[in-house]
């Protein structure tokens, strides 16, 4: 057998989830690992990510994955080697009266996983960070176990570390189908022919449906476009990382200083996401009108941002599941696994997801138990993960 046409594990997708999992599989010496990326590494959601990292989670499994991840981001050079551009920065999330039960529940889940989380009154927050208008805000979820990274640096560092452990990464290699024989995965089809493997992990982000549909498996994933506005900040601008449940935006400064990124999402029924499937169509940009709308919300919260100047923004698309939690686990074909539907929160959990998916492929029972609530089959079974109390947050 040609060694270039077979592997023990094939991973479809060179985003942060696929590449991080490849690295952790190689660390476990789980045979020959091959990552296939149809374009170039990071061309999907990862390259567009705002890459904020915070402990917000409504379920213990997600909180555990996030906790494992923040440990890696905080000590990236020790764990992976190289620089992921991590900047520690307190997260403040503003919530209204009706979201206080959700804030309390999230704080309890996060603390149980080991994250430092405070629940502050608006007055207590303002005593620390004056200059914020919190009129309709009833509580502030505040965590120092937060920050942001550079998504491209992070991905490249994982790729380099994976290659150093023997992982092969092939870019410009689209997978056109998954090969199954007698209920078992045997490989994938590519323009260079069929590549065989006993285990295949699908981590294709937004492009999941074309791989699952021929197997008769519904993906249940939909798309949500994020609009990211960039502002040149005045010198006395707020310096925390923010999630604003009332005004529906997330915001963080850039490492280089002087700029901040503000993200919001639009559920636009007119958006057909044609740019995702036709390279001849450019993705929509952020219009002037859109930038002004976001800027106005930010100024209502932080009046000092009145003096911020608008810069060019961009858009990116997130793969959303019906309960807005990832799909992680086995598919109903032996040897076939899924890590997709990251629902706009995949970056902050990528190290934890990579570690745990690698453990699952290696047959680790603890990983299987941890990931059980996120099993892809839950959607078809109608077992959606719905917390008792929920935020109206997009993020």
The contact set with ligand FAD (CB under 6 A) reads: 12-18, 36-39, 43-46, 48-52, 174-175, 203-207, 211, 226, 228, 263, 316-318, 340, 342, 344-348
DSSP, res 6: B
Between CA 118 and CA 95 the distance in angstroms is 13
Q: Name which of 277 and 292 has its Cβ closer to ligand FAD.
A: 277
Q: Name which of 18 and 253 has its Cβ closer to ligand FAD.
A: 18
Between CA 239 and CA 34 the distance in angstroms is 41
User: Helix crossing, 60-74 with 346-361: angle to 10°?
Assistant: 100
**Shortest CB 94 distance to ligand FAD, Å:** 17
**Shortest CB 194 distance to ligand FAD, Å:** 14
Q: Name which of 122 and 220 has its Cβ closer to ligand FAD.
A: 220
Contact at 8 Å (CB) between 66 and 198?
no
Q: Name which of 261 and 367 has its Cβ closer to ligand FAD.
A: 261
Q: Name which of 17 and 70 has its Cβ closer to ligand FAD.
A: 17
Q: Name which of 175 and 231 has its Cβ closer to ligand FAD.
A: 175
Contact at 8 Å (CB) between 348 and 252?
no
**Shortest CB 301 distance to ligand FAD, Å:** 18
Structure tokens at 195: 């590549």
**Shortest CB 87 distance to ligand FAD, Å:** 13
List, edge to edge, every strand of the sheet that includes 222-232: 118-120, 139-143, 91-95, 241-244, 249-253, 259-266, 222-232, 309-320
CB atoms within 10 A of CB 304: 16
Between CA 166 and CA 204 the distance in angstroms is 22
Residue 258, CA distances (Å) to 147, 204, 293, 309, 317 in order: 17, 34, 21, 10, 26
Between CA 272 and CA 366 the distance in angstroms is 40
Q: Name which of 273 and 307 has its Cβ closer to ligand FAD.
A: 273
């Amino acid at each position: 057998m040609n060694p270039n046409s077979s592997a023990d594990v094939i991973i479809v997708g060179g985003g942060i989830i696929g590449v991080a999992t490849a690295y952790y599989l190689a660390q476990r010496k789980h045979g020959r690992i091959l990552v296939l990326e149809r374009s170039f590494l990071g061309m999907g959601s990862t390259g567009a990510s705002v890459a904020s990292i915070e402990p917000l989670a409504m379920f213990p499994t997600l909180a555990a994955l996030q906790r494992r991840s923040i440990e890696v981001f905080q000590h990236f050079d020790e764990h992976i080697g190289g620089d992921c551009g991590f900047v520690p920065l307190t997260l403040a999330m503003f919530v209204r009266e009706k979201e206080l039960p959700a804030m309390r529940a999230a704080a309890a889940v996060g603390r149980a996983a080991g994250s430092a989380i405070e629940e502050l009154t608006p007055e207590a927050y303002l005593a620390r960070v004056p200059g914020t208008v919190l009129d309709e805000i009833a509580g502030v979820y505040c965590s120092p176990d937060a920050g942001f990274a550079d998504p491209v640096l992070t991905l490249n560092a994982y790729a380099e570390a994976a290659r150093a452990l023997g992982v092969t990464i092939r870019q410009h290699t689209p997978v056109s189908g998954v090969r199954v024989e007698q209920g078992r995965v045997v490989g994938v089809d590519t323009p260079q022919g069929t590549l065989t493997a006993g285990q295949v992990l699908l981590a294709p982000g937004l492009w999941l449906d074309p791989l699952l549909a021929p197997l008769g498996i519904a993906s249940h994933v939909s798309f949500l476009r994020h609009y990211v506005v960039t502002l040149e900040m005045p010198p006395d601008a707020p310096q925390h990382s923010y999630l604003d449940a009332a005004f529906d935006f997330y915001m963080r400064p850039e490492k280089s200083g002087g700029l901040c990124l503000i993200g919001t999402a639009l559920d636009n029924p007119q958006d057909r996401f044609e740019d995702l499937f036709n390279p001849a169509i450019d993705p929509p940009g952020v219009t002037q009108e859109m930038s002004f709308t976001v800027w106005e919300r930010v100024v209502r919260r932080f009046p000092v941002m009145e003096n911020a100047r608008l810069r060019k923004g961009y858009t990116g698309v997130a793969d959303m599941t019906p309960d807005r939690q990832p799909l992680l686990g086995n598919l109903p074909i032996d040897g076939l696994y899924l890590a997709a539907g990251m629902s706009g929160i995949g970056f902050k959990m990528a190290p934890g997801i990579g570690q745990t998916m690698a453990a699952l492929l290696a047959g680790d029972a603890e990983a299987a138990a941890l990931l059980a609530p996120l099993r892809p089959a839950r959607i078809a079974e109608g077992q959606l993960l719905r917390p008792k109390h929920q935020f109206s947050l997009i993020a």
